[in-house]
Homo-oligomer: A and B are copies of this chain.
Amino acid sequence: MLYTFLDFAGTFAFAISGLRMAAHKEFDWFGAFVVGLVTAVGGGTIRDLCLGMTPFWMTNIDYFIITLSAFVFVLVARKVLLKPAVVTFFIFDTIGLGFFLVVGYQKTIDAGYSHAMAIVMGTITGAAGGVIRDVLLAQIPLIFRQQIYAMACVFGGVLYSICLRCGIPLTITQIIAASGVIAVRLIAERYKIGLPRFKGFEVGDNDPQRTIKKKK
């Protein structure tokens, strides 16, 4: 019950995130729906394909229905939406992130892969949907230049791994890991903490894969 609620709340919040960005780029209804859907299920799809499994949404139409609900919600509510609702989305989005990390981690472990790979797959589950969303919007993925987002997943995954090795029961481990993700995300948001910008050396004349000068 709780599991299902968290799954649906996270999916709903992720879909909202995709729908809102699509609206900014003047997408039509179909385009907005696709971007919302892909934001919600994209991370889990990459995970399942890498694990050699059938993408989870292919045997369960619920994720389409949730995205459709988010679609209708945004259409109907946009005139009357108040600040508290925006805060609620942020909370949902953050809870969804924590939940997706746990789902991705556990599914990878169950498939027989290492804990290190479970951290990777948990992070992909949480963060890759937003990357695909931004690729479809033809913009550089936000999570590559923005506040802590994917790193919160990595942190939660490390917590998960430590708890399991310490023999902590699975349910408690999962609560700790998800809480870790949520805590890091909230703290980073509150205090505007971000990762440092990555600076490379200058590209010389012999750059192996050099950038074409753009003609203006």
Contacts and interface: CB of A to CB of B under 8 A. Distances in A.
Nearest to A39: B209
B78 A206 contact: no
A192 to B, nearest CB: 12
B201 A81 contact: yes
A204 B81 CA distance: 10
Contacts of A138: 135, 138-140
When all copies of this chain in the complex are counted, the total is 3
A131 interface: yes
5 contacts: A49-B50, A52-B52, A79-B201, A142-B211, A146-B209
A210 B74 CA distance: 17
Contact of A146 (B28, B87, B143, B151): B28
Given A58-B117, A135-B136, A144 B27 contact: yes
A165 interface: no
A23 B200 contact: yes
A34 B208 contact: no
Nearest to A199: B23
A12 to B, nearest CB: 12
Contacts of A23: 198-200
